């Protein structure tokens, strides 16, 4: 888990671009902001042991306290490391909307699944750490001379998605709003909202963007491209099928997927993604 410094205050660690249970669960990114007063962490990775390793890497760089942990969203590969950061000085913050996940059956079902697929790194002692508060819209503040802006984008990739903009460094921590060099996981997300958010991010003048999966980029236009084009393609194909009353199996088998087939996680995620978009666009057609 090498640490990469992105700017004066921002660092990140990068998981491999594969499915969630590969590489001992280390498939997502986490970042942290070091200030004169303390540290802000953005996501904690996919197992308690990975979270502990991340915390150790932070402590190798600074002896400042870890004051706040933002979970960009509540998918298991991004917040199971929270356990390692528990302490009296650390506040956990999540996007409003994540409570639907945490209070529903899906959270417990996913935990039981990961106890099998990521054993022993996720096991019977693994606990889901609930946030101290939910962020409804956005907050801006200065910590140790570093200006931070955290925004709840609403329901896009998940029930609630946060981004963290380090204004002093012009660095954006995007969470899973952006995937680089990997097919994104869509599930039951709001792809219409997601595309609108990506279009807005594409217009920002940034020094660097750290995605939820993949490498840091100094070009918002470049790093947004794969996620945007893939979502737009799914919506175009599935939207036309809905309009023409074409069954999902038929449209899926007749679609040319060659532009995306070579990306990691295509085999594991694409059919499920397409079906999720098909169902959601059926709902949209009734609006």
The pLDDT value recorded for residue 194 is 87
Task: Note the pTM of the prediction, 2 decimals.
Answer: 0.87
Return the domain boundaries, the chain: 4-219
Q: How far apart are CA 182 and CA 180, in angstroms?
A: 6
CA-wise closest residue to 194 among 167, 207, 212: 212
Helix (H, G, I), strand (E, B) or coil at 80: helix
Low pLDDT (below 70) residues in the chain: 188, 203
CA distance 213 to 63: 28
pLDDT of residue 154: 80
Phi, psi of 19, deg, nearest 5:
-70, 165
**Rounded to 5 degrees, what are φ and ψ at 56?**
-60, -40
61: left (phi over 0), alpha (psi -120 to 50) or beta: alpha
Strand partners, 69: 41, 92
Calculate the CA 168 to chain-centre distance.
23
pLDDT at residue 221 in the model: 80
Residues contacting residue 106 through CB under 8 Å, at least 6 positions apart: none
H helix or E strand, kind and range, residue 252: helix 248-254
What is the pLDDT, as a whole number, of residue 203?
65
Using CA atoms, how far residue 189 sits from 21, 52, 185, 254, in Å, is 21, 30, 9, 24
Dig out the tokens for 157 from the structure.
């990739």
What are phi and psi for residue 251, nearest 5 degrees? -70, -35
Given this model, what pLDDT does residue 123 score? 96
Of 173, 175, 172, nearest to 158 by C-alpha is 175
- Cα 186 to chain center, whole Å? 11
Task: Please state whether 234 falls in left (phi above 0), alpha (psi between -120 and 50) or beta.
Answer: alpha
- 52 with 71: CB under 8 angstroms? no
Residue 157: the pLDDT is: 82
Q: Decide if 277 contacts 238 (C-beta within 8 A).
A: yes
- pLDDT tens digit sequence for 97-153: 899 889 889 999 999 999 999 999 999 999 999 999 999 989 999 999 999 999 988
Say if residues 85 and 58 touch (Cβ distance below 8 Å). no
Contact 20, 122 (CB under 8 A): no
Count of residues in the chain: 287
Is there a contact between 178 and 227 (Cβ–Cβ < 8 Å)?
A: yes
- Select from 3.60.15.30, 3.40.50.300, 2.40.128.50, 3.30.70.260 the CATH code of 4-219: 3.60.15.30
């Amino acid at each position: 888990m090498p640490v990469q410094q992105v700017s004066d205050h921002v660092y990140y660690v990068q998981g491999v671009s594969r499915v969630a249970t590969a590489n001992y669960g280390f498939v997502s990114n986490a970042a942290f902001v070091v200030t004169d007063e303390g540290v802000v962490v953005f996501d904690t990775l996919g197992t308690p042991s990975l979270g502990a390793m991340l915390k150790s890497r932070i402590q190798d760089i600074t002896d400042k306290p870890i004051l706040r942990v933002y979970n960009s969203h509540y998918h298991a590969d991004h917040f199971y490391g929270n356990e390692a950061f528990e302490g009296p000085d650390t506040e956990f913050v999540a996007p409003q909307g994540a409570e639907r996940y945490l209070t529903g059956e899906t959270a417990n079902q996913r935990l039981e699944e990961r106890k099998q697929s990521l054993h022993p790194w996720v096991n019977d002692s693994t606990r889901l750490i609930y946030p101290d508060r939910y962020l409804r819209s956005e907050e801006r503040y200065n910590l140790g001379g570093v200006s931070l802006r955290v925004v709840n984008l609403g329901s896009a990739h998940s029930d609630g998605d946060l981004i963290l903009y380090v204004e002093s460094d012009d660095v954006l921590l995007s969470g899973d709003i952006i995937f680089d060099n990997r097919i994104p996981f869509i599930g039951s997300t709001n792809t219409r909202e997601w595309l609108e958010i990506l279009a807005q991010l594409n217009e920002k003048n940034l020094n660097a963007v750290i995605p939820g999966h993949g490498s840091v980029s100094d070009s918002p236009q470049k790093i947004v491209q794969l996620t945007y084009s893939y979502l737009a393609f799914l919506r175009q194909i599935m939207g036309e099928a809905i309009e023409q009353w074409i069954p999902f199996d038929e449209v899926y088998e007749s679609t040319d997927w060659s532009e995306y087939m070579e990306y990691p996680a295509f085999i594991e995620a694409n059919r499920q993604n397409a079906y999720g978009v098909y169902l959601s666009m059926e709902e949209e057609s009734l609006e």
